[in-house]
Structures are given as C-alpha cells and as structure tokens.
Amino acid sequence: MDGRRARGEKKRRAIVEATLRVIERDGVAGVTHRSVAREAGVPTTAPTYYFATLDDLLIATLVQAAEETCEEMLGTVARGGTAREIAAMLAKAVNENRGRTLAEYELYLLAGRRPELRAAARRWLDLAVEAMRPADPVAFRALLAAVDGLLIQGLIADVAPNEDELEPIVSFLICGRDDSTAPARGQ
Amino acid sequence: MDGRRARGEKKRRAIVEATLRVIERDGVAGVTHRSVAREAGVPTTAPTYYFATLDDLLIATLVQAAEETCEEMLGTVARGGTAREIAAMLAKAVNENRGRTLAEYELYLLAGRRPELRAAARRWLDLAVEAMRPADPVAFRALLAAVDGLLIQGLIADVAPNEDELEPIVSFLICGRDDSTAPARGQ
DNA sequence: CAACTACTTGAACAAGTGTTCCATAAGTTT
DNA sequence: AAACTTATGGAACACTTGTTCAAGTAGTTG
C-alpha cells in the first residue's frame, strides 16, 4: 500500500468534515477555501489539491452529509417506526442536530437550482418509498411531506418544538382515516 | 409634496424588485450591489444610497416577497379552500412561480440562522392559524407542514408535480380520519 | 435668485476571493 | 542510492466584493 495515498485520503476526509462544520456554523455562504482550510488546520491550498474546484468540495460535503442522515431517517421513518420514535427523531433534528438539519436544507435549495444535485437531495425520499412499499401511497407521501415541513418549520420557530409537541401531529399522519391502509401504526 | 422624494421612493422600489429578480434567478448568493444595480439599470452606488447595507436590501426584499405571497396563500389555504384549490395553488408555486418559491425558501433558510427574520418567515403560518381557528389544531398543523413539504419536495423533483398529482395528497390531509374535526372539506 | 435639500454617480480603496505555480519534502519502487 | 510519484505549502495573480467619498445635478423653499 501507498502510505502517502492513505494519509491523503485521511486529509481529504478531514477537509470534508471541516467543510461540514463550516456549513453548519455559517451556511454555504461561509464556505471558502480559506475558511475551510482554517477550520481543518491545513494550508490554504490543501482543499484545491483534493478538489478541483470549490463547488466540488461543497457538493461532495453536502451529498455526504445527506447520505449520513439518510440511514438515520430510514431507520425510523421507513421501517414502520412508531409515532413517538419518529417524533423523537424530528425533535433531535431541530435541536441537538440543528446545524446539520440546516445544512440538509441548504442542499435542498442548491438542488432546486442544480439538477445534478437532485438525486442526492431526494435520496431519502426515494429510499423510504422503496423500503416501505406502503399500502396507501397517498398517506405515505403526505407523511413524508409533513416530515420535511415539520423540520423546516421547526428550524424557524422561536423555540424549536420538542418530542411531545411533535408526537400528536406525527400520530395523526400515521393513523390515517382508515387504519388498515396506513403505512404504519402509531403507539 | 417633494417630487424628488417621490421619484426616490420609486427608484427604491425598483431596486427591491430587481433584487427579487436576481434572487429568483441566481439565489441569495447572486445578490451583490453590482448585480442588483445592473439588473435595475442604475449605477453601482444606487443601492447603497437607499439601503445602509447589502444585508438590509436582501432582508427588505425577502420580507416583501414573503408578504406578497402571504395573501395568496391565505386566500386559498386558510379560508377553507377545497383540496383542488389548494393543490392548484401548490402546483402553480412549483411550476410558474418556481423562482419565487425558491426565493421563499431562501428566506426560510436565512431565518434559520437569523432570529430577526423568523417572524417574517413564519408570518403565513401564524396568519393561517389565526384566520382559521381550526377545530382540530393537530390536523391543521399537519396540513401546514405538508404544504411546506410538498412545495420543497416539488422544487427538487426531476419534473415538478402538477395539480392532479398533488390533489389526492391534499385531499387526504384535509379529510382526516374524522371529518367533523377536519379543518376544511375537500372537493 | 439664493439657500437648501435630496438625489446621482464615477472613482477609488482595502479586503477577500478562487485558483495557479513552483520549489520542496516525503514516501515508494527499482 | 537513484528515479519516481505523491503530497505539501508559501507566494502571487487577477478579479470581485462592500463601502466610502466627494463632486455634481436637479428639484424645493424662502
């Protein structure tokens, strides 16, 4: 093995992680070669060495962040989690993981303007539908939409909602008017 | 009256409108004194004369855009519009008014990081709740969340959904499991 | 007409930007 | 050890940025 390449890969990952921290703190607007390099503790030219352009770095970071979140989302939303489990995950997203969730929606917005990012931004939606194969697709799509809405509204609330406030709403969405066609059963 | 001030106000409005066009086209990232001035057909220093800082211009523009959209939203969502009416409005937002809707969510994201913008970003939500006084607040909040979710997901779809695709989802949300507590009656 | 006020605008500045370049260091292979 | 590849990092370039400034115009008021 080439030890140089191994350390290079490590540094590359460190740069991506630093970029994510910058996005979480200052948003996409705060991402510059210099701010990322400062955050990662590497010289200014390091990011350019590993990523052809700033845009590449930005996109690589947002896509990776989205994929990381994907698994957590699918673990609770898609696999027929209870309303409380889903509510707990949403509450965590708008409180402890606030910065990360904001980053997630920066990707959404970027994807709105750049078609090549759309697949990455939509990935959790596509995976959820594929994993669930819900009996009532309409109810399930309503749930998925509401999840995005609750998150983004939670981000602009004066005080972010907690699990207890979110739970009844999620519960309402999970137990549609006909329980037999609902995608999952809440508490 | 002072004709100078009148023309000044007109120019000020023209600058805000130009800024909105820039945001719709290139996003908040594309807003600079120079790009706005070019779009409005005024010299570079004109925006600085009317707005102390670029941030002031940006905020004034997004807040005004949000207030404009507010009325349209409330006219259909809040006043107990039918599912089809709501679906039609959503379809319009992600197709004809795509740029405007993207701008709306740029405000959301900015509000996520700047508390002073939150009231403006949340305005349509607050007004909707106040105007409706829904019998079932939980169902209504689910509907409002889903509206945001459907819009933002519509913006990152490969092909934006149309009225017919959105209508069943809205209908499902409006006629909850118990019609008597539903906020409004669909078709 | 003179004094005043509001608007207009080009030039300029310091700061920060993405990116290129190149000499050097460090590790790998022969 | 020599030849090579890969990684490193400082200096520099051309460019754009937000904002300031001062000189100018044109309306309003006394």
* Residue range A142-167: mean pLDDT, rounded: 98
Shortest distance, CA A41 to any CA of chain B (angstroms): 25
Name the token pair of B112: 């996520």
Please say whether the structural domain B1-51 has been given the CATH code 1.10.10.60. yes
User: For residue B28, which residues of chain A lie inside 8 Å, CB to CB?
Assistant: 29
Domain ranges of chain B: 1-51, 62-181
Residues 37-96 of B, Cβ under 7 A from nucleic strand C: 42-46, 49
> Has residue A47 got a pLDDT over 60?
yes
The answer to whether the CB atoms of A138 and B106 lie below 8 A apart is: no
Q: What's the pLDDT at A182? A: 41
* Chain A residues with beta carbon closer than 8 angstroms to that of B168: 138
Question: Which among B109, B141, B147 has the least Cβ separation from residue A169?
Answer: B141
Among B113, B144, B147, B151, the residue to mutate for chain A (most A Cβ within 10 A): B113
B105 has pLDDT over 50:
yes
SS3 label, residue B39: helix
- On the question of pLDDT at A138 being above 90, the answer is yes
How many angstroms is C1' of D14 away from CA of B13? 35
Query: In this complex, is the C-beta atom of A73 within 8 Å of any C-beta atom belonging to chain B?
Result: no
- Which residues have CB under 8 Å from A107's CB, separation 6+? A62, A63, A65, A66, A117, A120, A121
Protein fold of B62-181:
Tetracycline Repressor; domain 2 (1.10.357)
Q: Give the tens place of pLDDT for each residue, B27-74.
A: 999 999 999 999 999 999 999 999 999 999 999 999 999 999 888 777
Q: Averaged over A141-166, what is the pLDDT? A: 98
pLDDT above 60 for A163: yes
pLDDT of residue A178: 37
Split at pLDDT 50, 70, 90, the class of B176 is low
Helices (H), B41-79: 46-50, 54-73
What band does A177 get if pLDDT is binned at 50, 70 and 90? very low
The structural architecture, per CATH, of the domain A61-181 is Orthogonal Bundle (1.10)
Residue A60 scores a pLDDT above 90: yes
What is the pLDDT of chain B when averaged over all its residues? 90
* CA dihedral (A83, A89, A94, A100) positive or negative: negative
